[in-house]
Amino acid sequence: MLKLKLLAGFMFIASSIPVLADEACVAPELPELPAYGALLSYDQLNEATGLVQTYAMANTAYKTCLDALILDPGSVSREAWRAAMENYNTAGADQNALGKAYDKLNEDWVETHKAKSE
């Protein structure tokens, strides 16, 4: 719940002050997920889930910050606006790639543990 409040506060600040948003838009670091879901314990899988959720929240805040720049192109230089557009697209692609990697990790874990229980 605290994370949601912090996220909401950050989103409000980023959208309220578009001129300052350029300095506040910091891309979150992609988490490193384990390579093989089949080798994970339940706790390790939950830890990976937490990493993905934390990244998704931070990436949403980042894209919201970029939105403030994109929607107010007069507040930044043409180059900064283009960079914001490129960064927004990259952030979306990164999140999709992370989601696919997590889905594969989860599927491997389920298949392995399903086979063990049979």
Angle at 80 between CA 73 and CA 7, to 5 degrees: 80
Using the predicted structure, report yes or no on whether residue 19 has a pLDDT greater than 80: no
Instruction: Report which DSSP code applies to 73.
Output: G
Token pair 């389920």 is found at: 110
How far is residue 35's CA from residue 44's CA, in Å, rounded to a whole number?
Answer: 12
Asked if the model's pLDDT at residue 111 lies above 50, the reply is yes
Q: Which residue has the higher pLDDT, 75 or 100?
A: 100
pLDDT reported for residue 6: 53
- CA–CA separation, 74 and 65 (whole Å): 15
Percentage of residues in the chain having pLDDT higher than 70 = 80
| Better-scored residue on pLDDT, 118 or 46 | 46
What number is the average pLDDT over the span 12-24? 48
Count the neighbouring beta carbons within 10 Å of the beta carbon of residue 100: 10
What pTM was computed for the model? 0.75
Do 34 and 44 meet the contact criterion of CB atoms below 8 Å apart?
A: yes
